[in-house]
């Protein structure tokens, strides 16, 4: 992260397998770490980033540090399993935003569109609506929601949603084919009768 929210200086965090806990006093920027992950994966809503407008994510300066002109976050994922369909044992996704509103995405340093990032991630279960970032305070609302909603959240987190969507797509295609077939048979039957 560089210039993202409270991270004015270049900051590198390593997430090892397992649980990573970020500890610090209130307002020290713990949630900004989560925001950085949300942002680099393509978040478009300012609400998801706890800010009023998108350029609020750019370091705004403090009493002894000047504001910066751009926010940058790069997320390097271990791809030794080949789960992401791109060559290389590591994949780096990055996002940059300038104060004039210009924004840029890159995969392994090559500029790309947001769509390319979304497509790269979508087959791995990390894509839009397929990964789960549960912020502070959201846990309560999940625990208190209806069992249907809770099921949706759990299925999404467990990666079932991707398969369910595929199944629904396949079912739609099958039923369209079935209708076509019936129309075809009916047309031939009429022809045979006449
Ligand atoms: P809490 O414990 O209340 O959740 P936290 O440790 O998670 O707090 P965050 O809410 O992540 O803290 O961080 C808020 C801090 O980030 C504040 O000090 C705020 O001033 C700072 N901050 C947020 N956006 C920017 C920005 N664009 N430029 C500079 N500082 C920022």
Q: Which ranges in the chain belong to alpha helices (H)?
A: 30-40, 114-122, 138-143, 147-158, 160-193
Ligand 1 near 27 CB (within 6 A): yes
Distance 32 CA to ligand 1 centre (A): 6
Instruction: Tell me what pLDDT residue 134 has.
Output: 74
Please state, in angstroms and rounded to a whole number, the distance separating the CA atoms of residues 136 and 142.
11
What's this model's pTM, rounded to 2 decimal places?
A: 0.74
125 torsion bin: left (phi>0), alpha (psi -120 to 50), beta (else): left
Please state, in angstroms and rounded to a whole number, the distance separating the CA atoms of residues 60 and 58.
6
Please state, in angstroms and rounded to a whole number, the distance separating the CA atoms of residues 50 and 19.
24
Please state, in angstroms and rounded to a whole number, the distance separating the CA atoms of residues 165 and 122.
12
> Phi and psi dihedrals of 104, rounded to 5?
-145, 140
Residue 58 CA: nearest ligand 1 atom is 27
Burial of 36 (0-12, 13-18, 19+ CB in 10 A): buried
Instruction: Tell me what pLDDT residue 175 has.
Output: 96
Assess contact for 162 and 170: CB atoms under 8 A: no
Instruction: Tell me what pLDDT residue 163 has.
Output: 81
Distance 55 CA to ligand 1 centre (A): 15
Distance 23 CA to ligand 1 centre (A): 14
Instruction: Tell me what pLDDT residue 129 has.
Output: 53
Provide the β-strand partners of residue 62.
Answer: 65
Please state, in angstroms and rounded to a whole number, the distance separating the CA atoms of residues 60 and 7.
10
Assess contact for 59 and 8: CB atoms under 8 A: yes
Instruction: Tell me what pLDDT residue 131 has.
Output: 62
Contacts of 61 (CB under 8 A, 6+ apart): 67, 68
pLDDT in tens, the chain (194 residues): 999 999 999 999 999 888 888 899 998 999 899 899 989 988 888 877 888 888 899 999 999 999 999 999 999 999 998 888 888 899 999 999 999 999 999 999 999 999 899 888 876 666 555 566 777 677 777 788 888 888 877 777 677 777 887 898 999 999 999 999 999 999 999 998 87
Residue 51 CA: nearest ligand 1 atom is 24
Instruction: Tell me what pLDDT residue 146 has.
Output: 87
Ligand 1 near 76 CB (within 6 A): no
> Phi and psi dihedrals of 56, rounded to 5?
-65, -15
Rg over CA atoms, the chain: 23
Report all structural domains of the chain as residue ranges with CATH numbers, in order of start: 1-129 (3.40.50.300)
Distance 107 CA to ligand 1 centre (A): 28
Distance 156 CA to ligand 1 centre (A): 28
Instruction: Tell me what pLDDT residue 183 has.
Output: 95
Instruction: Tell me what pLDDT residue 123 has.
Output: 66
Instruction: Tell me what pLDDT residue 119 has.
Output: 84
């Amino acid at each position: 992260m560089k210039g993202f929210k409270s991270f004015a200086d270049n900051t590198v965090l390593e997430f090892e397998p397992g649980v990573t806990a970020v500890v610090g006093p209130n307002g020290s920027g713990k949630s900004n770490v989560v925001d950085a992950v949300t942002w680099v994966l393509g978040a478009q809503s300012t609400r998801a980033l706890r800010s009023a407008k998108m350029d609020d994510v750019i370091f705004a300066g403090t009493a002894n540090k000047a504001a910066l002109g751009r926010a940058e976050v790069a997320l390097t994922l271990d791809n030794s399993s080949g789960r992401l369909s791109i060559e290389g044992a590591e994949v780096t996704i990055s996002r940059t935003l300038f104060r004039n509103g210009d924004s840029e995405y890159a995969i392994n340093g090559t500029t790309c569109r947001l769509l390319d990032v979304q497509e790269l991630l979508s087959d791995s279960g990390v894509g839009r609506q397929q990964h789960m970032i549960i912020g502070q305070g959201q846990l309560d609302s999940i625990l208190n929601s209806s069992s249907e909603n809770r099921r949706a959240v759990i299925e999404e987190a467990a990666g079932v949603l991707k398969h369910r969507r595929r199944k629904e797509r396949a079912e739609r295609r099958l039923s369209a084919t079935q209708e076509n077939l019936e129309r075809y048979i009916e047309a031939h039957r009429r022809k045979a009768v006449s």
